[in-house]
Structure 1
Amino acid sequence: MVKLLGKLFIKDYQNYEDQNVRISYGIMSGVFGFITNFLMATAKIVIGLIFGALSIVTDGAETFADTTSSIITIMSYRLSRKPADKKHPFGYQRAEYIAGLILSVIILTTGFIFFVTAIQRIITPTEVTFSKIAVIILVASLLMKLFQSLFYRSASKLIKSQTLKANSIDSLNDTISTVFVLAGYLIFYFTGKNLDGWFSLIVSLIIIFNGIKLIKEASSPLIGERPDPKLVEKIKERIMVSDKILGFHDLYIHSYGSGRKFVSVHVEMDSNLSLLECHHIIDEIERDFKINSDIDITIHIDPIEEETEEERKIKEELTRILKSYNEDFTYHDFRTIKRKGILDVIFDVAIPDSYKIKDVKFLEKLKKDMYKYNKNLRLFVNIDRYYIREEENE
């Protein structure tokens, strides 16, 4: 259904990576939710008034409130389309993340409200009035909400949208709630037992669980998270396109939305190359990223000199010591400067974020072990806590 509507209303509808296509899918999904909720709410209110069923009219009013989620979705995608300006030089794409967080908070709040209401109904049960028309409305509402949930879920997977995922969970919560209400009606009709309060309690706990889970997922990209290994591999392929690039490290990726990423990286190049030649190579790589991807990249050059025999031995000892601590430890930016009989050894040590030793204690231990090898060394060590696994940077 999502692809069919996309084919009808969205230009280049299969190019899901394109920012304009993503936004169009997001707005289309929001409009779909608004229209279906509006029609459902109108039908419930009209039928309720015709048959004098106040509960159905009330349910219709609650369905109208669901259009709020659709409006938030539409507004967030429209806002994310705005270009960067003086106050927001990185653009507005994170509005989608904020919308997802808002919807998650609404879901969690709804769960707590249901929880309190359920406890009240368990303590003081309310009278249940069975109505065939109410059952018919509930079944129709259940099917529509389930269809909404599947529609949002499909769209969220196509464009990798946390906001649409939150909409999908919201509709699924409504579906589950309706199932339990319907079950309560039928149990009361056939047995006379009123389990409305207990069923409401179960539903509220499901909604609270989903709300907490969604808040965690929606907050993660706002706080900053480990990049997708596929994205890292794509960046690596573009960086290593020239045989003059010997390697790279200190790769940092900052996401300002699905179509806005800023990357910085250090690349290693032969120190014998001229500055002009290095600049030309780096300029070409940066231009390639800008034209052929949604990434703005800044590249720093680290010159690599031909190592001396003394440097080779120091590197071997340094590697041995680091591997004795942890197999994942590596180093880079290694260089030496000799001054008055003392050899200054300068390098960065890359430590995985899972390794919990404090930097000060680690440096003390490393220097102590290196001085055992050669007391005439003077170490200048910078520690990098890397968030990209080492195998992604090989």
Structure 2
Amino acid sequence: MTVLVALAANLLIAVAKAVGGVLAGSPALLSEAAHSVADSLNEIFLLAALRRSRRPADRRHPFGYGKERFFWSLLAAVGIFVMGGCFSFFQGFEALQGGAKESHEGYVAGLVVLGVALVVEGVSLLRALHQVHRQSGTAGQGLRDPALRTVVAEDSTAVLGVALAIVGMVLHMVTGNVVWEASASLAIGALLVYVAFRLGRDAREQLIGQAADPELSDRMYALLEEQPEIDSVEELLTMQLGLDSILLAARVDLVPGLDSEEVEDVTVRIKFSIMRTIPEADQIFLDITDAPTRAARRKKSGGPAATGERGGA
């Protein structure tokens, strides 16, 4: 719902800014229009991410489609950079080179448009922040949701960008010097490029296989350590498969004396125990070894009592 609200707001604001920018010949207002168009396209990307990431796992994608969110968030970052940042730089440099009209006609209407945009973007930002607070308090997700994180970044940037455009237009009107408005356009471009870089970097980390949140990883490790049948946890690896899906792979040493059937029962019980406590850990793989038995076997054979040998379960 937050993405839909942001999309509707951005579409209306983009049209208003574009019309006002053309009538006023304002580079700052046109930069903000490009910013809103980029945001609108990005909201469409995010809607696609929300829909496609919910598809169930199949034979081609046995771990599901959760990473769709990260892919479409990466495209949204590219859209912010190309459509928003680059166009804003173009408008700023063109104004500095004398391409902008030295006219204040339509500037009052343009400032009114920016004032309305500031209010609308502010409301959208408050709604997004409210959802972040709600998710942080319930599911513990907060800004881990790439779609919500992108909306918050876009709305925050939009509020700041509109403020920069207003300052640039007002100073241009007061001083008659277009350099103020050109500087506002360049500042908006720099802001968008920075936001695009941050969002793109986060999406990249998730796409190449980022580990789960350290707090969750510590909880998983503690749960394994608490199991009476586990002698030690040799290694624990995690990867975020989606917003609500985590892969957990652990190599654990069991206490001695368990036969094969008991090992199988223990493995199943441990997996379900972890999944009940941490529902996001829905893909669990345990590599089972028996440390004392393995050490005794190596000692008998004269080999080093290393911990690299693995048993499977």
Bin the TM-score by the shorter chain: 0.7 to 0.9
Question: What is the distance in 1 between the residues matched to 2:113 and 2:91?
Answer: 22
**Which residue number corresponds to residue 189 of structure 1?**
173
The correspondence for 2:272, drawn from 287, 298, 301, is 287
The 5 A counterparts of 1:189-228 are: 189-194=173-178, 195-228=180-213
Query: Aligned residue for 1:337?
Result: 299
Q: Give the whole-Å Cα distance in 2 for the aligned partners of 1:61 and 1:188.
A: 18
Cα shift at 1:33: 1.2
Instruction: Provide the rounded CA distance (Å) in 1 between the counterparts of 2:284 and 2:230.
Output: 16
Please name the residue that 2:92 is paired with.
Answer: 118
Match of 1:250 among 235, 243, 247: 235
Q: What is the CA-CA distance between 1:219 and the residue it aligns to? A: 0.9
Match of 1:138 in 2: 114
Gap regions ≥5 residues in structure 1:
1-27, 308-332, 349-380, 383-394
* Higher helix proportion (structure 1 or 2): 2
Classify the secondary structure of the residue corresponding to 1:264.
strand
The aligned residue for residue 267 of structure 1 is 252
* 8 Å Cα contact 1:118/1:197 also seen in 2: yes
Q: Which moved more, 1:154-163 or 1:52-61?
A: 52-61
- 1:231-380 matches, within 5 Å, as 231-292=216-277, 293-295=279-281, 296-305=283-292, 336-339=298-301, 343-348=302-307
* Correspondence for 1:229 among 214, 223, 234: 214
Per the TM alignment, residue 344 of structure 1 is displaced from its structure 2 partner at its CA by 1.4
Give the TM-score normalised by the residue count of structure 1: 0.65
For 2:291, the aligned partner's letter is: I
Deviation of the 1:94 alpha carbon: 0.8
The letter of the residue matching 2:304 is V
Change (3 A) 1:270 1:173: closer
Decide whether aligned partners of structure 1 residues 193 and 84 sit closer, same or farther in structure 2, where only a CA change above 3 A counts. Answer: same
Distance 1:212 1:139, change over 3 A: same
CA distance in 1, matches of 2:257, 2:192: 63
Deviations 1:105-161 (A, max 9, x none): 112222123223322221225124333222111111122223323433443463431
Give 1:88 deviation, angstroms: 1.4
How far does residue 220 in structure 1 lie from its aligned partner after superposition? 0.8
CA shift in 2, pair 1:167/1:247, >3 Å: same
What count of residue pairs does the alignment treat as equivalent? Answer: 292
Q: Which residue is 2:63 aligned to?
A: 90
Q: What is the rounded CA distance, in whole Å, between the counterparts of 2:285 and 2:38 in structure 1?
A: 46
Instruction: Tell me what 2:151 maps to.
Output: 167
Q: Tell me if structure 2 keeps the 8 A contact 1:111–1:208.
A: yes
Output the CA distance in 1 between the equivalents of 2:12 and 2:76: 21
Structure 1: distance between partners of 2:109 and 2:98: 26
Q: Matched residues in 1 for 2:273 and 2:68: separation?
A: 28
Query: CA–CA distance in 1 between the matches of 2:227 and 2:5?
Result: 48
Determine the C-alpha separation between the residues in 1 that align with 2:296 and 2:37: 64
**Identical-pair percentage:** 19
Counterpart CA distance in 2 for 1:59 and 1:216 is: 24
CA RMSD of aligned residues (A): 3.1
- Alpha-carbon distance, 1:285 to partner: 1.0
Deviations 1:177-230 (A, max 9, x none): 322221122112222222222221222122212221221112111112343221
Q: Return the alpha-carbon distance in structure 2 between the equivalents of residues 199 and 64 of structure 1.
A: 18
Evaluate the alpha carbon distance shift between residue 156 and residue 101 of structure 1 in structure 2; reply closer, same or farther with a 3 A threshold.
farther
Secondary structure, aligned partner of 1:88: coil
CA–CA separation in structure 1 for the residues paired with 2:165 and 2:273: 57
**SS of residue paired to 2:239:** strand
State whether residues 335 and 345 of structure 1, in contact with CA within 8 Å, keep that contact through their aligned partners in structure 2: no
Partner AA of 1:263 in structure 2: L
Give, in whole Å, the separation in 1 of the partners of 2:32 and 2:218: 50
Partner of 2:138: none
Name the residue aligned to 2:3: 30
Q: Distance in 2 between matches of 1:173 and 1:39?
A: 17
**2: CA distance, partners of 1:69 / 1:232:** 32
Q: Residues 338 and 60 of structure 1: is their aligned pair in 2 closer, same or farther, counting only changes over 3 Å?
A: closer
Structure ID, larger Rg: 1
After TM superposition, the score normalised by the length of structure 2 is 0.81
Report the Cα distance in structure 1 between the residues aligned to 2:265 and 2:25, rounded to whole angstroms.
72
- Structure with the bigger RCO (C-alpha within 8 Å, sep 6+) is 2
Shift of 1:103: 1.1
The Cα shift of 1:60 comes to 9.7
User: Does structure 2 conserve the Cα–Cα contact (< 8 Å) formed by 1:77 and 1:96?
Assistant: yes
